[in-house]
Amino acid sequence: MSGKYLMVGAGLSGAVIGRCLAEAGHAVDVVDSRDHIGGNCHTKRDEKTDVMVHIYGPHIFHTDDEEVWDYVNRFERFMPYKNRVKTTSKNASGERGVFSLPINLHTINQFFGKTLNPEEAATFIAEEQADLSIEKPETFEEQALRFVGKDLYEAFFKGYTIKQWGMAPSELPASILKRLPVRFNYDDNYFFHKYQGMPENGYTSMIEKILDHENINVKLSTTFTREMSVHYDHVFYSGPLDGYFEYELGRLGYRTLDFERFTFEGDFQGCAVMNYGEEEVPYTRITEHKHFSPWESHAGSVCYREYSRAAEPADIPYYPIRQVKEKELLNAYVSLAETTSGVTFVGRLGTYRYLDMDVTIREALDTAKSFMSLQNSGQAAKPFFVSVI
């Protein structure tokens, strides 16, 4: 028996869940308040330079999930791309230089003016740099000091983190750093994942193809209201969790980004991403978008300077803060959501978590599968298929 379903948001979550339901014979409407599909993954060619621009900042696809990799390649050919991040900061002698991230053997030797081999470098960091007196790091700062020591922490993490999160690293949980990658070889690939790449014609082209199904109807520049739900058997909501409830319990905290766009005739910085680790430099990084498509050739360049700040109500939310205050409010919204029927909250905003694209797609595929399984068994759908806490 076919149903009629609404996807709120034309990003990855809405597109993938909508496609799964459409292929199962259901009617799907997709609405988005913006005038384009793709959400924050939206890409568009610059009219002057023909560079493929990541409008809301760069998105780099990386995963170990073979099924997800096969899924995205079904709709768009992914070209080889390795994320090699550089950072401008001061070395151990106080001189500014350009270094590779994550910290690797080249970074260590360049920063300290040494010629260490892998074993020597590991011993040097462990015995002369790392603060091993910190047995159980509880803050971001303690985590960094425990792994790499004061000099590397202050050069590459402290200033950048203050700018990115708007607070001292000593106020942030250690979990943000997770397992700090330090490589005692010359591998400067930022990610460890088996599959890495960029869609040949951009993410918007990929999502457009996912949404291209006879059972899917897309309505852009359309703001969702809860009154719309009465026309559908179920709603999949990828907007802000607190926004669904019209912020009745308060607003969850986010960081947002401001982009200062500029063009350059030639090659501005020679790489896709250049971080700026010093706190006195107001922006966190500069991205040069033609380098995200290394198989293309462009004379001109489109670049973004990125500035991070606290999100205001009218801003696009990027990074959930998830501090103690926000987690308490999140718990309250989750409790409210669990008593709300007819809606499933999905994606980065709907579950108030920072998600990589592959995880977003994996959860969307699993959500669609679980939903249809529950429907076939006559059970009610759940508001969350994953833990948001």
Residue 354: active-site member: yes
Longest dimension (CA), the chain: 71
Amino acid at residue number 180: L
Residue 353: active-site member: no
Judged on CB neighbours under 10 Å (0-12, 13-18, 19+), 270 is exposed
Please pick, among 306, 352, 353, 358, the residue that the annotation labels catalytic. 306
| Cα–Cα distance, 59 to 46 (Å, whole number) | 17
235-244: b (≥16 Cβ within 10 Å) or e? bbbbbbbbbb
Please pick, among 146, 183, 322, 362, the residue that the annotation labels catalytic. 183
Please pick, among 67, 70, 248, 354, the residue that the annotation labels catalytic. 354
| Cα–Cα distance, 193 to 197 (Å, whole number) | 10
Torsion of CA 17, 23, 26, 32, to 10 degrees: 40
Residue 179: active-site member: yes
> With contact defined as beta carbons under 8 Å apart, do 49 and 264 qualify?
no
> With contact defined as beta carbons under 8 Å apart, do 242 and 351 qualify?
no
| Cα–Cα distance, 271 to 281 (Å, whole number) | 19
Judged on CB neighbours under 10 Å (0-12, 13-18, 19+), 61 is buried
Give Cα separations from 81 to 87, 118, 273, 275, 293 (angstroms).
19, 26, 13, 19, 8
Please pick, among 19, 285, 353, 362, the residue that the annotation labels catalytic. 285
| Cα–Cα distance, 3 to 21 (Å, whole number) | 9
Give Cα separations from 270 to 66, 85, 261, 263, 301 (angstroms).
32, 11, 17, 14, 11
The strand pairing partners of 288, in sequence order, are: 303
Neighbouring CB atoms inside 10 A of 336's CB total: 16
Catalytic residues: 179, 183, 255, 285, 306, 354, 356
